[in-house]
Structure 1
Amino acid sequence: MTLASTERASPIVTRRELSLSPTGLAVGLSFLFVAVALLARPLLPIDETRYLTVAWEMWNSGNYLVPHLNGETYAHKPPLLFWLINLAWAVTGPSEIVARLVPALSMPVAVFLTSRLGRELNATRRGAESALVLASMLVFVALSSMTMFDGLLTVCVLVGLIGLVRAGRGERSGFVLLGVAIGLGVLAKGPVIAVHLLPAALLAPVWAARRASWKGWYLGVVCSIAIGTAIGLVWAIPAAIAGGQEFANELFLKQSAGRVVDAFAHKKPFWFYIAILPLVLCPFTFSRSAIRSLVSWPSESAREWRLLTISAGCGFIIFSLMSGKQVHYLLPLLPAAALLMQRVRNVPDDLRWFVLTLAVCLVMIAVVVSLDVFDLPTLHINADGLLVLVGLAAMLMLARHDLTLAAAFTAIVFLGLHLHGWRSAFIPYDLGWVGTELRSYHDPDVAFVGLYHGEIAFLGRLDRPVAQIGSADISSWRTAHPRGIVIAVTDMYHRDLETQPDLQRPYRGGMMALWRPLQPEQTNAAPPP
């Protein structure tokens, strides 16, 4: 039986059940999730605030070659995201919403490209419905809307997989597309793009159409790698020269080998991704047919679909062996997983499977939390709101629903968490009040007590670096800088502060405190009450 006949024999969603195309529905949902995330969720420290600060310093200095953070070179991430944000600002002017919209748009683009990848695999309807599977994955939806680099990387990976499929059919343009994807992936998040694309390229005899000689294939792969490397080096070499020896060493050594061998941050045990996999695949964790489809090896009549198994499987194994681990590192693996999981029938298939997988999920999450390897933030969610969300989710999960209701489940949980979180969970992370206070003064000196991660420069539109001081230096620094503003992150009781602050708000389990200038000189705005 051919793949096409299999699709006709057992469609997930009949046209009577779903008048709108699955791709259209998936892309529409993605835009809805992006809008809700931007409007109902503040800019979250410390990652999102840091990346927008880097983009702001690039805009403010006019130096688009070497990224900077607080006046010093910043080699931790490549510049593609910062370039795109600055390109958008060139049209609209500096804006938080516009800056956050740039990476968030990778969500609907990735959803659309997932459908396109299915079409390239000669399964148009299956690809379209896989787009809806991807748009219904709660972790993908939540993380893709954040100002990080993994959404852009996901788009690059999908372009590369499309290029591999075309090259497997004998189209030389596929190797060019693969090379461009590698190059843009390097500029988006560094050499990690190789983890997602090279295993599938090197194992082409397993999935691509048989040919008399594979010499031409591997020559094409080498050319693709050369194209991608050249695209990356066009920026990296001039940036390394301009940034200096320390910047060059960090760019070429620490940010590649350092993450694999001995992570300087986010170190987790090898089983970390296995433990959180039920959460990553939610709500399809509770579908027996979806999990069976994910782990099954495609039939001989659908050799090209093995590409997806190799891409997602090898990527998962390699990331598990790496020292540094974060949930969002798995984001580029999810489109391939969605295409493999498309054959889901009901979610859940039966009550016993639901109860079993729910118990496994709870046990794994409990183990991860108890061993303190998840870096969980302090959340402040009212019990009544959480119970409502859990009740709505359980009603859908127990309703033996199809793919459209899986999307409804994700929409309810995502919208509920964001709308409820605006009043509770996100309050300790909202630094908008700090930005408002800083912008009310004209070009103030600013000092930060403790380790500064770029939390406030963009929010306050600061033109100068932030001084870093100790808690014992607050009074002396204010005396030396009477127009200066001091900001400190403290515990709830201010045990380490020698003077009481003028303003304070809850911040990530503690407090953020602010001291106003001793002699404020303001322009164009009155001081906040």
Structure 2
Amino acid sequence: MSAAPTWRLGWVALWAALLAVALWTRPPLPLDETRYLAVAWEMWVRGDFLVPHLNGAPYSHKPPLLFWLMHAGWALAGVNAWWPRLVPPLFALASLLLVLRMARLLWPERPEVGPRAAWLAAGALLWAVYATLLMFDPLVVFFATLGVLGAVEAACGRRAGWVAVALAVGLGLLAKGPAVLAWALPPALLAPWWAEAARRRPGRWYAALAAALAAGTALAAAWALPAAAAGGPEYARAILWGQTAGRVVDSFAHGRPWWWYLAWAPVFLLPWSLWAPAWAAWRRRGTGPDRGLRLCAAWALPGLVLFTFVSGKQPHYVLPAVPALALALAARLDGHAPGGRRAAAAPALALLALGAGLAAWLWGTATDAGAALLAGARPAWLLLPAAAGLALLARPGGVAALATAWATLLAALHLALAPGLALAYDTRPAARVLARLEAEGRPVAHAAKYHGQFHFAGRLRRPLEPVLAPGLAAWARAHPEGAAVVYYPTPALARRRVAEGRAAGAAPLFAGAFRGDGLVIWPARAIAAHPRLIEGAAGF
């Protein structure tokens, strides 16, 4: 393959390699990935594709598009775990394909801008992490990018662009609610600033935008209104109001200070935050107004400002800004692939230090029996990014080389921690026990708020009964044939309670790790006879 196709398409191979490593080494992670699998599974089992359910109750926190896409794959290939975990990464990949198209429209005389932007986005730490997870945000990124591309197409005189805007709004709302509007709408609303067509005929532009918004809203309402009627008043309030007002006013449980994103931006944007050509590109004076750069500003800045002042903050909330920032930086960079030893020094040294430092740390802590994630760690894998850092110092490259080198850090972390990821995050061993209990018709209590972490893994068909620890002994006495899922704040406490139970002739049905907690499934008779076994139990 020639250098040009490698440059243009190599980022797809980078995406595929990271995804393959993640799927091979990492089980579906509780609580988010396992929850979304559980909701899709419960909809599938119930045959109810209108109202999502979790543990027998309507699930109002997310709209159904991702679940429907999971079902589409299951309808073709049977129920499996691999297809749902491919869906969001495929949307992440498709988002960067849209960026390529956008770059061709905005800078037709500069064919290198699109591939460079794809490399910049694919290599950014925030993108590389979330592009391999089963989450809704890659769908939001895709539909936000589709909406922006639709506005660009419309500005170029293509009416199909407004169809893209309508689909982006409607399907984006069905993907994760109103969050998509924070990224998809500002470029169209600010179009007179960057688009000659909107500046010349603003009335026609905003009329077309209003029609696209109405069509997109109608598309989302075609699900929301019947679902609200079927799910009951509380569910209706949640999907029609709570997911908007609640996130803006209180934003659930992720309240952080306004400056949180600013503080973390250098980490989210690694390695580019350490790359000298990126800083030089922003400092360089332009030759005049650039409609593409103005578009990128209208795309990224309003959403970033909005989410900065919303109380709840999570890294993935600002993931839709990454393609915009990558496209702007790609356009500002001069030359095909800027490089040089001085340019690569900071990110190369940081990669070398991180790889070697993490390897040394793991060699020193991998024997800590209290840390399930570190059990069986393979620190030698982390010498791979250290070697990549050395290679960058010896033979610096441009955007593609730097993105590939830093991707080895994420891949090596997965490979190094693979045994611990299985031990601490794989819910299948416990879920198999729960499936056996369900098949025997025995009731099961869950001594904490239940997030569905066992339902898909065990293909469970009946809800678990949430019973907080203070009421668990009474529940056990009332259900002597049952069992209870109990969490302990440390694995050490769980092991101590298991030893006490075995000494008293009350062996658990299962004992293991769950994230940082200890997890034990006790027979109800054991808890009823020995209440001390649940002393110190905790939820999450």
Query: TM-score normalized by structure 1?
Result: 0.84
Query: Residues 357 and 142 of structure 1: is their aligned pair in 2 closer, same or farther, counting only changes over 3 Å?
Result: closer
Supply the AA of the counterpart residue of 2:406.
T
Q: Deviations over 1:326-380 (max 9, x none)?
A: 001111111111112222723874478669999xx9xxxxxxxxxxxxxxx9953
The whole-number CA distance in structure 2 between the counterparts of 1:448 and 1:137 is 39
Amino acid at match of 2:519: M
Aligned to 1:26: 11
Kept after mapping to 2: 8 A contact 1:100/1:147: yes
Q: Secondary structure at the match of 2:166?
A: helix
Partners of 2:37 and 2:456 within 8 A in 1: yes
Aligned to 2:309: 321
Distance in 1, Cα, partners of 2:283 & 2:252? 33
1:380 paired with 2:388, answer no
Classify the secondary structure of the residue corresponding to 2:521.
strand
Residue 393 of structure 1 and its aligned partner are, at CA, apart by: 5.3
Aligned-partner residue type, residue 96 of structure 1: A
Q: Distance in 2 between matches of 1:502 and 1:434?
A: 9
SS of structure 2 residue aligned to 1:52: helix
Q: Are 1:57 and 2:45 an aligned pair? A: no
Which residue among 151, 154, 164 is the counterpart of 1:164? 151
Of 471, 484, 487 in structure 1, the residue corresponding to residue 485 of structure 2 is 487
Q: Secondary structure at the match of 1:424?
A: helix
Range with bigger deviation, 404-413 or 333-342: 404-413
1:240 match:
228
* Structure with the higher helix share, 1 or 2: 2
Tell whether the 8 Å contact from 1:176 to 1:224 is kept in structure 2 after alignment.
Answer: yes
Match of 2:538 in 1: none
CA distance in 2, matches of 1:22, 1:115: 13
Structure-1 separation of matches of 2:253 and 2:9:
39
- Tell me by how many angstroms 1:32 deviates: 2.1
Provide the secondary structure at the position in 1 that maps to 2:158.
Answer: coil
Counterpart contact for 2:11–2:400, Cα < 8 Å: no
- Mean Cα deviation higher: 239-248 or 480-489: 480-489
Structure 2 partner of 1:505: 512
Contact 1:186 1:193 in 2 (8 A): yes
Pairing of 1:105-184 with structure 2 (within 5 A): 105-121=90-106, 122=108, 123-184=110-171
Work out the number of aligned pairs and report it: 487
Percent pairwise identity? 36
Q: SS at the partner of 2:518? A: strand
Mean CA deviation greater in 60-69 or 171-180: 171-180
How far apart, in 2, do the equivalents of 1:421 and 1:339 lie?
Answer: 33
3-state SS of 1:513 partner:
strand
Question: Which 10-residue stretch deviates more, 123-132 or 473-482?
Answer: 473-482
Distance in 2, matches of 1:297 and 1:146, equals 39
Superposed CA offset, 1:30-74 (max 9, x none)? 122222211211110001111111111100101111111111111
Find the residue that maps to 1:276 and give its secondary structure.
helix
**Cα distance in 1 between the residues matched to 2:87 and 2:510:** 33
Which structure 2 residues correspond to residues 223-238 of structure 1 after superposition, within 5 A? 223-238=211-226
Q: Which residue of 1 aligns with 2:452?
A: 454
Deviation at 1:96, TM superposition (A): 1.1
Q: 1:85 aligns with which of 53, 67, 70?
A: 70
Query: In terms of mean alpha carbon deviation, does 338-347 or 96-105 score higher?
Result: 338-347
Q: Distance in 2 between matches of 1:111 and 1:415?
A: 21
Measured at CA, do residues 113 and 484 of structure 1 come closer, stay the same or move farther in structure 2, by a change above 3 Å?
Answer: farther
Match of 1:419 in 2: 415
Q: CA deviation at 1:409?
A: 1.3
Instruction: Note the residue ranges of structure 1 that are not aligned, 5 or more in a row.
Output: 1-14, 362-376, 520-529
User: Could you list the runs of 5+ residues in structure 2 that have no partner in the other structure?
Assistant: 355-370, 527-540
Deviation at 1:517, TM superposition (A): 8.0
Which one of 394, 398, 403 corresponds to residue 402 of structure 1?
398
- Of 335, 338, 344, the residue aligned with 1:345 is 338
- Which deviates more from structure 2 when the two are superposed, residues 388-397 or residues 161-170? 388-397
Counterparts of 1:331 and 1:150, CA distance in 2: 7
Q: Give the corresponding residue for 1:95.
A: 80
3-state SS of 1:405 partner: helix
Q: Is residue 2:277 matched to residue 1:277?
A: no
- Does the Cα contact within 8 Å between 1:298 and 1:305 map onto a contact in 2? no
Alignment-derived partner of residue 209 in structure 1: 196
CA contact (8 A) 1:27 1:111 kept: no
Deviation at 1:421, TM superposition (A): 1.5
Counterpart selection for 2:297 from 299, 306, 309: 309
The alignment partner of 1:422 has SS state of helix
How big is the shift at 1:215? 0.8
**Counterpart of 2:445 in structure 1: which amino acid?**
A
Shift of 1:228: 1.3
Hey, what does 2:207 align to over in structure 1?
A: 219
The one-letter code matched in structure 2 to 1:199 is: P
Inter-partner Cα distance in structure 1 for 2:329 and 2:148: 17
In the alignment, is the contact (CA less than 8 A) between 2:378 and 2:417 conserved in 1?
A: no
Q: Secondary structure at the match of 1:20?
A: helix
Distance 2:470 2:223 in 1: 43
Higher RCO (CA 8 Å, separation ≥ 6 residues): 1
